[in-house]
């Protein structure tokens, strides 16, 4: 009975794909929802998903410097704690949720670049201040670059450079092999990447724009910015495709059997 059900489901899926091509012969599947429907040829996304992405813009009440939520009485706790003290300004078109999370995952882990023009346009729109001397992608270590076959931060930096005319500067290198930040507890992320970034070109007095795919705790961006400032950079901005918009205090640390677990409390 199980095999019959599996065959029936396979036939149904095949029919749905065929119907999609017949009904929308000029379309492909949307890279967010996966549905066969008319998609924007340039962006590889359907209109419904692009409208949904527009609702994920960072709120105007976010901290102007780091795009973390503001505390009503105390201002930005991230800035007060100086955990992103070497970042002078942050830009991002989306909060890291729903459709935006899907796009980042497709780019980062599936090497899907079919919607890179969409992200490039949105990054450009989110960057009103373009008085930068260079765009610096956050580097990957050699092992991870070989595993993925590309550096998503470098692809985004090239898209932004194409639209602004600001040159891409590979001003940072990365040494050693670190555990992925996404798999590292929040409390350990700063230590995980300590000392792994190194300035590798002359940047004295330059205004530089760091580019990465997503900013979560800001540990990676701060480590990069600190190295650039130590090497003489006058100003360091940060532009990412998405930011985790969550109050730092809502990342609660729980200790269990000498191991740190992170419980993220949704707003």
Domain boundaries, the chain: 2-47, 58-264
pLDDT of residue 143: 82
For range 168-172, the mean pLDDT: 97
Let me know if 158 is exposed, middle or buried by CB neighbors in 10 A (0-12, 13-18, 19+).
Answer: middle
- Three-class secondary structure of residue 133 per DSSP: coil
Evaluate if residue 222 carries a pLDDT over 80: yes
Evaluate if residue 181 carries a pLDDT over 60: no
Banded model confidence at residue 137, pLDDT cuts 50, 70, 90:
very high
Evaluate if residue 198 carries a pLDDT over 90: yes
Banded model confidence at residue 5, pLDDT cuts 50, 70, 90:
low
**3-state SS track over 239-252:** EEEEECCCCHHHEE
What are the pLDDT digits (tens) for 44-56?
999 999 999 999 9
Rounded to 10°, the helix 98-110/47-54 angle is 110
Q: What is the mean pLDDT of the chain?
A: 82
pLDDT of residue 43: 95
Residues 6+ positions from 5 with CB-CB distance below 8 Å: none
Banded model confidence at residue 20, pLDDT cuts 50, 70, 90:
very low
Evaluate if residue 191 carries a pLDDT over 70: no
Fold of 58-264: Rossmann fold (3.40.50)
Q: How many CB atoms lie within 10 A of CB 125?
A: 11
């Amino acid at each position: 009975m199980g095999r019959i059900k599996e065959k029936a489901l396979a036939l149904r899926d095949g029919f749905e794909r065929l119907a999609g091509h017949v009904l929308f012969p000029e379309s492909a599947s949307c890279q967010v929802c996966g549905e066969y429907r008319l998609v924007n040829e340039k962006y590889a996304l359907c209109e419904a998903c692009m409208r949904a992405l527009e609702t994920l813009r960072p709120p105007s009440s976010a901290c102007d410097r780091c795009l973390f939520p503001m505390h009503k009485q105390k201002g930005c706790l991230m800035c007060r704690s100086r955990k992103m003290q070497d970042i002078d300004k942050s830009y991002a078109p989306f909060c890291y949720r729903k459709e935006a999370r899907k796009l980042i995952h497709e780019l980062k882990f599936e090497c899907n670049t079919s919607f890179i023009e969409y992200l490039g346009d949105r990054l450009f729109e989110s960057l009103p201040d373009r008085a930068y001397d260079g765009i610096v992608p956050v580097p990957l270590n050699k092992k991870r670059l070989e595993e993925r076959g590309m550096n998503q931060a470098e692809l985004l930096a090239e898209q932004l450079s194409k639209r602004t005319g600001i040159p891409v500067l590979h001003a940072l290198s990365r040494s050693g092999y670190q555990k992925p930040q996404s798999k590292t507890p929040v409390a350990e992320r700063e230590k995980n990447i300590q000392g792994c970034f190194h300035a590798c070109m002359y940047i004295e007095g330059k205004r530089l724009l760091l580019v990465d795919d997503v900013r979560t705790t800001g540990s990676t961006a701060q480590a990069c910015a600190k190295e650039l400032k130590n090497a003489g950079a006058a100003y360091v901005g940060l532009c990412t495709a998405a930011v985790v918009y969550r109050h730092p205090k809502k990342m609660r640390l729980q200790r269990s059997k000498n191991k740190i677990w992170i419980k993220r409390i949704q707003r």
